[in-house]
Structure 1
Amino acid sequence: MAKAISKFHSWLIIVALLSLNIVEQAASVINATIPGMAKAFPNEKLVNIELITTIVSIFVTVFVLVSGIFVKWIGQKKTAILGLLIASISSVIPAIANNFTIILISRAVLGVGIGLANPLAISLIGVFFYGDQRAKLMGWRSAIAGIGTAAMTFLAGQLLVFGWHTAYWVYLLFIPTLILFIFAVPDPEKSGALKRQEIEQAKEMTEAAKQGNEVKKNPIGLIILLTLLTFFTLISMMVFAVKLPTYFVQAHIGTPTDASNVWSAVNLATVVGGFLFGPIYKRLDKYVLPLGLFLAGLCVIIIPFASSLGMIYVVSMIDGIAGSLIIPYIFNRISEVSSAKKAPLFTSIALVGSNLGSFMAPYAGELLGMGTNAGLAIMNSGIINIILAVVSLAVIFILKKKRYV
């Protein structure tokens, strides 16, 4: 951090940046309102009611790319504040609106706000923090996002007792993040943080050169590879999530509720993995990527052969920990190789890969399962991760041989 910023101020910045990641994943916290809304709007098809979640994702995917244009116009801090302001206002409109079209539009606008702020949740970590601390916070961001969205989902469920409208007031929790960004986060362009980032990156390049390696700044080829890796990793993760309930029923292992409980355990494990990422990355450096991919893939492959529900719980939680090492590494790597001006754009590109991977998962699951075989789909999704692990390890060895890092 810059010397002019106190330790307390530094922690305020950390809280602001990490809480922004909760906003990023908050679209689904009100999914439990769907049955109540279906009763309130009997003339609407259920698929249209369910759009209240998916329409957010569509607009997030589009506006993570548009975010880079806004950063050029008004800067990173103002873009994040604009996105948070849009999200804070639009998210609570369903709490007072009784027209379904207005509610649906408000959810689309929520996607706009999240999309504008989303890339800054990652790139600003790279602006204000460096080295091991940056890697640690990249792991923390996924852990805190998991805890925050779980807490918001629980609170929305409690508010649902008073009616589906009331559940949407949970989004008032966006406001503290907005206030923190306005008053606690320095403007990177005006505070000298971008200049400090360039100095720190120059130090990293000098240190790499002393070790006989070369760091290429803004490598388009690497960004494309990381985006493709994000795309296929999310496909693998989400095929497992989508097909697990069906597999439980087909294999007579348990009920969809049991599958939901297993997935909750996976999410809990990702929180643990998020906090472990920093220390593991410090020891293993770039090899944390193939390790995470291999372990995640191996665990998912084991699922269809597991002989008991207890074994599935254990293997799935190991998968959650291993999987939570992958995405933080990708975005930490993007921060390492991106200049201050290019980081938001490159982060946006990788996020598009992430969102498209999630969107394509149901279709990929059908293909991997040869139609309706959920167990086969899960096993093949694990094989994808094993392949990615082998490819990533080969790329690391090739770059190491060429003295690139």
Structure 2
Amino acid sequence: MASQDKWITKVAFLGISFVLTSAYAINGALPKMTEELHITTTQSQVLATTPSIAVTIFVLLSSFIANKLGDKRTIILGVTLVGVAGVVPFFVSSYPIILASRAVLGAGFGIFNSLAVSMISVMYDGQVRSSMLGIRAASEQIGQAVLTFAAGLLLSFGWRETFLVYLIAFPILYLFYRQVPDTSEMIGKVAVSSDDEDAGTTTTTLQDEPQKVSALVGVLTLFAAFLVIDYMAIQLSFPFMAAELKGDGYNASPVLSAMLIAAMLGGILYGRFQNMFGRFTLQIGLVLMALSNFMVAFSNGNFFVLCAGVLLIGFPLQLISPFIFNQLPKLAPLRKQALVTSIILIGFNVGVFIEPFVISTMGAILNSADNRAAYESIPYLGVVLLAIAIVTIFTAREKKPLLAE
């Protein structure tokens, strides 16, 4: 059995995704940092947002770094930066140094963000790849929840101690180094055994792989941005909608945390959905997202329906997200997988950034009051989701590459 098929190798892959979304795990320590470091609230918030800026920059650079170092060494570099830079604030009290360490932390995440996906796309195929991509997405959600919880426990000892959560990067790094082969050496190989093909774990062969990057990668990038805009519109609207129904003191955090669990389940079950429904997994996810939109928009004061709609949105998003990444080996050469994965990830990140502007524009078109723009935009976003589902059903019948099983 090839080394990539071992369960411990798969765990090593999932480990790097487990730590990938931990940049915000220490946000609960920001009030104490603000007080003890004698900094402004704005300065403390900059500590929270700086990693995301660095992530965006280094996601763009990661494929070029990988071309020089190879996929495995690039991930090792990124995880090392996360572990080292992550714990720097435990040892220092200088705001500029802490800020710089947060920037390096984000750079580390950005360096291996796309490779956490593309290495799976290169090394696995068929049902194994689908399952790995889904579980990988779930690992991000689990990691964010677990590390945020651990940081909260450490906060009882002081704000510095919260940064010790990043020490988890080192055992993950060791496991990855020991167990995962370098996919750079596999790209372009032609020979695969029939036994591997039957197992669904082969890499794409040279004869099968595309010779250039398909224009559909750009379409998928815009699609990814739209999905996140819809998700964020519901997530950000819920606290205000809940406050209208339950009063200004209502704590929406438990429901928003449950969204994370629903998203995790979507990632875990993606492989099964893909196995059962194939290319129509996309349409199922779109219909469920649209249903979430309509439940939220037309809850009409029913708090149970509102919460159910909010909880639902994360599940189909994590069905569609790995579906998108699962298409990339059909849309670009293996040597370009890190690049096209980076492009899709940028689409997701840009969607988060532009969501307020898109919703504000929709609100202006609908003549909505500023504080109701998101509420009144949600059903229209749901209609767009249904329209995309209908269009892609017809393209699926024509067996377009985007929707190939």
TM-score (norm 1): 0.88
1:162 and 2:165 correspond: no
Which residue matches 1:282? Answer: 275
Q: Contact 2:293–2:379 at 8 Å: present in 1 too?
A: yes
1:377 and 2:369 correspond: no
1:401 and 2:398 correspond: yes
**3-state DSSP of counterpart to 2:26:** helix
Q: Contact 1:91–1:107 at 8 Å: present in 2 too?
A: yes
Give me the whole-angstrom Cα distance separating, in 1, the residues matched to 2:181 and 2:350.
32
Residue 201 of structure 1 aligns with an amino acid whose one-letter code is T
Give me the whole-angstrom Cα distance separating, in 1, the residues matched to 2:380 and 2:275.
27
Q: Which among 165, 173, 178 is matched to residue 168 of structure 2?
A: 173
Summarize the Cα distance change of 1:175–1:54 in structure 2 as closer, same or farther, 3 Å threshold: same
Q: Which among 31, 35, 39 is matched to residue 35 of structure 1?
A: 31
Give me the whole-angstrom Cα distance separating, in 2, the residues matched to 1:332 and 1:242.
29
Q: Which among 229, 232, 252 is matched to residue 245 of structure 2?
A: 252
- Greater shift, 112-121 or 298-307, is seen at 298-307
Residue 241 of structure 1 aligns with an amino acid whose one-letter code is Q
Give me the whole-angstrom Cα distance separating, in 1, the residues matched to 2:400 and 2:46.
49
1:91 Cα deviation (Å)? 0.8
**3-state DSSP of counterpart to 1:258:** coil
Which residue matches 1:119? Answer: 114
Which residue matches 1:95? Answer: 90
Residue 28 of structure 1 aligns with an amino acid whose one-letter code is Y
Q: Contact 1:368–1:381 at 8 Å: present in 2 too?
A: no
Give me the whole-angstrom Cα distance separating, in 1, the residues matched to 2:369 and 2:27.
26
Which residue matches 2:199? Answer: none
Give me the whole-angstrom Cα distance separating, in 2, the residues matched to 1:100 and 1:12.
40
Show structure 2 runs of 5+ residues with no match. 193-201
Which residue matches 2:11? Answer: 15
1:363 Cα deviation (Å)? 3.1
Which residue matches 1:223? Answer: 217
What are the equivalent positions in structure 2 for 1:1-400 lying under 5 Å apart? 3-5=1-3, 10-42=6-38, 44-190=39-185, 192=186, 195=189, 200-202=203-205, 205=208, 218-249=212-243, 251-255=244-248, 257-306=250-299, 307-370=301-364, 373-374=370-371, 376-395=373-392, 397-398=394-395, 400=397
Q: Contact 2:21–2:144 at 8 Å: present in 1 too?
A: yes
Give me the whole-angstrom Cα distance separating, in 1, the residues matched to 2:249 and 2:348.
26
Q: Contact 1:287–1:393 at 8 Å: present in 2 too?
A: no
Residue 281 of structure 2 aligns with an amino acid whose one-letter code is V
Which residue matches 1:210? Answer: none
Give me the whole-angstrom Cα distance separating, in 2, the residues matched to 1:340 and 1:305.
45
Show structure 1 runs of 5+ residues with no match. 206-214
Q: Contact 1:56–1:108 at 8 Å: present in 2 too?
A: yes
Describe the superposition over 1:11-59 as per-residue Cα deviations: whole angstroms up to 9, x where unpaired: 12211211211222111111101111111233x3312211112111111
Summarize the Cα distance change of 1:298–1:369 in structure 2 as closer, same or farther, 3 Å threshold: farther
Q: Contact 2:20–2:113 at 8 Å: present in 1 too?
A: yes
Residue 53 of structure 1 aligns with an amino acid whose one-letter code is A
Give me the whole-angstrom Cα distance separating, in 1, the residues matched to 2:59 and 2:50.
14
1:364 Cα deviation (Å)? 3.1
Q: Contact 1:77–1:187 at 8 Å: present in 2 too?
A: yes
Describe the superposition over 1:87-120 as per-residue Cα deviations: whole angstroms up to 9, x where unpaired: 1111111111101111111111111110001011
- Greater shift, 215-224 or 163-172, is seen at 215-224
Q: Contact 1:127–1:197 at 8 Å: present in 2 too?
A: no
* Overall identity of the aligned pairs, in %: 31
- Greater shift, 288-297 or 27-36, is seen at 288-297
- Greater shift, 358-367 or 20-29, is seen at 358-367
Q: Contact 2:3–2:181 at 8 Å: present in 1 too?
A: no
Give me the whole-angstrom Cα distance separating, in 1, the residues matched to 2:22 and 2:249.
23
1:402 Cα deviation (Å)? 6.8
Which residue matches 1:208? Answer: none
Summarize the Cα distance change of 1:104–1:20 in structure 2 as closer, same or farther, 3 Å threshold: same
Residue 61 of structure 1 aligns with an amino acid whose one-letter code is T
| RMSD over aligned Cα atoms | 2.5
Which residue matches 1:209? Answer: none
Residue 305 of structure 1 aligns with an amino acid whose one-letter code is F
Give me the whole-angstrom Cα distance separating, in 2, the residues matched to 1:388 and 1:99.
48
Summarize the Cα distance change of 1:224–1:197 in structure 2 as closer, same or farther, 3 Å threshold: farther
Residue 95 of structure 1 aligns with an amino acid whose one-letter code is F
Summarize the Cα distance change of 1:177–1:196 in structure 2 as closer, same or farther, 3 Å threshold: farther
- Greater shift, 383-392 or 238-247, is seen at 383-392
Summarize the Cα distance change of 1:73–1:257 in structure 2 as closer, same or farther, 3 Å threshold: farther
Give me the whole-angstrom Cα distance separating, in 1, the residues matched to 2:246 and 2:313.
19
